[in-house]
Amino acid sequence: MSLSKKSTAFLILVFALAGCSLGLPYNKAKPDFPKLAAGKSRVFVYRAANPLAIAFPRVVMMDAKPFGDIFAGTTTYRDVATGSHDFSFAGQKTKLNLQLRPGDETFLRVSLDVNNEGIGDTVIKVIPKQTAEQDMYYTNMIEPKVRDLIKK
């Protein structure tokens, strides 16, 4: 099999597998989100669509435990205990520390950050709600059952 046929087959497989774990687009799923439980905080993590990154998911960690997988063009969320939490990626030492309060909704965007030398790194940043909801409008929700997630 030629390299181009292998690449095409690989991409078809990736899209098929990704489709199995995707839910509704954020804008359609949002009205059905459950009410936030008292004393909890809701954290959304999203990644803008990028065809070059579709086959490269990132595992988002919260306090060194899996929070969820995030693919290009997807969003996931969890309701978590309030307090101080570190968000990072599997295998990376860089952390984002957040202080979550009861009833808060926090939006984290996963993106590629390229320095002035052209070296890129995946980063996670807090984004204002209005900007995040515009970014996430057509992203697909990833269901919580994608992996065994933290229970907080």
| Total tally of structural domains belonging to the chain | 1
pLDDT class of 122 with cuts at 50, 70, 90: confident
Q: In the predicted model, is pLDDT for residue 126 greater than 80?
A: yes
Q: In the predicted model, is pLDDT for residue 88 greater than 80?
A: yes
Distance CA 60, CA 48 (A): 15
Residue 152 covered by a domain: no
Q: Which long-range contacts (CB under 8 A, 24 or more apart) does 7-14 make?
A: 10/55, 11/54, 11/55, 14/54, 14/55
Q: Provide the 3-class DSSP secondary structure of residue 108.
A: strand
Residue 66 covered by a domain: yes
Residue 22 covered by a domain: yes
pLDDT of amino acid 5? 54
Residues 6+ apart with CB under 8 A from 32: none
> What are the tens digits of pLDDT across the range 32-81?
999 999 999 999 999 987 766 666 788 899 999 989 888 889 999 999 99
Range of the domain at 13: 3-146
Report in angstroms the alpha-carbon separations of 32 from 14, 18, 26, 36: 28, 22, 10, 12
pLDDT class of 2 with cuts at 50, 70, 90: low
Residue 76 covered by a domain: yes
Closest by alpha carbon to 72, among 97, 101, 93, 51?
A: 51
- pTM summary value: 0.78
Residue 151 covered by a domain: no
pLDDT of amino acid 70? 86
Residue 135 covered by a domain: yes
